[in-house]
Amino acid sequence: MKKVLVAAGVSVKKMNYTMQTISEYCRGRNIDVEVRGRNVYEINKETKIPDVIVILGKNHIETKVPVVSGNEIETKNGIKTVCEEVIRYL
């Protein structure tokens, strides 16, 4: 199972929406994925290393894991763009 980590600052609502959207999109493409959310300031405490990180807001993360901007996920066109970029890293 592939792992996606959604990281956000203070907007838990946006994080939950993004997690649900990515999960449903991947399920629709028959991709087995575990999507978890975390506060962006707690990323270094993450024990399970994800295959890709989706960040909401500015990217201040230094990591070898691919990072995708999830800022466009709130627009209809943005959902496909962000989700397809996530899938490329899975």
Q: What's the number of domains the chain is made of?
A: 1
Q: What pTM value is reported for the model?
A: 0.90
CA distance 36 to 6: 6
**End-to-end CA gap in the chain:** 9
CA distance 80 to 20: 14
In sequence order, what are the beta bridge partners of 54? 6, 68
pLDDT confidence of residue 30: 97
Beta strand spans in 1-90 (E): 2-8, 33-39, 52-55, 67-69
Domain that holds residue 67: 2-89
pLDDT digits (tens, 9 = 90+) for 22-60: 999 999 999 999 999 998 888 776 567 899 999 998 887
User: Residue 61's domain is classified under what CATH number?
Assistant: 3.40.50.2300
Residue keyed to tokens 């609502």: 13
